[in-house]
Amino acid sequence: MTTELTALTLAAILQMCQFGAYAWIANKELGTKYTMGNRDEEAKPSQLLGRHKRALNNHFEGLALFTIAVIAVQFSFASNGVTQACAGFYLGARILYVPAYVLGLTPARSIIWAVGFLATLIMLIAALL
């Protein structure tokens, strides 16, 4: 497995861990009656739960673009030291982003997000060259 595919796989596992943490906190805070129900009425989450949800949603968005970048690099046979480093930077940024968001670390959170975004952009450009 290439470095980029390994990073993508680990990013997907991170996403699952993030979802598990969010679900655990939601069940604890809102109760399983609500979380296992139809959720016809919107519950007001705590600040902590809201931050976990927004960090999770942000990872879904970033992971979609990163997946495209990895696929483009793989199918264009563009894997090299730069794309491999970018894959590592993306994964590292995503790992750091969760606690930065949950703890409300600004502007660090935005800087960490930008590292992952730029790493993805560089991979996409590398695939085109």
Q: How many domains does the structure of the chain reveal?
A: 1
Range of the structural domain that residue 18 is part of: 3-34+47-128
C-alpha–C-alpha distance, residues 11 and 119, integer Å:
14
Residue 41 located in a structural domain:
no
* Residue 117 belongs to a domain: yes
> In a 10 Å sphere around its CB, with 0-12 CB exposed, 13-18 middle and 19+ buried, how is residue 53 labelled?
middle
Within a domain: residue 23? yes
pLDDT tens digit at each of 129 positions of the chain: 999 999 999 999 999 999 999 989 988 988 777 777 777 777 788 898 989 999 999 999 999 999 999 999 999 999 999 999 999 999 999 999 999 999 999 999 999 999 999 999 999 999 999
Is residue 115 in a domain?
A: yes
Is residue 97, in this structure, part of any structural domain at all?
yes
Does residue 79 fall inside a structural domain? yes
Q: Are 109 and 128 in contact (CB under 8 A)?
A: no
Q: What CATH number is given to the structural domain containing 101? A: 1.20.120.550
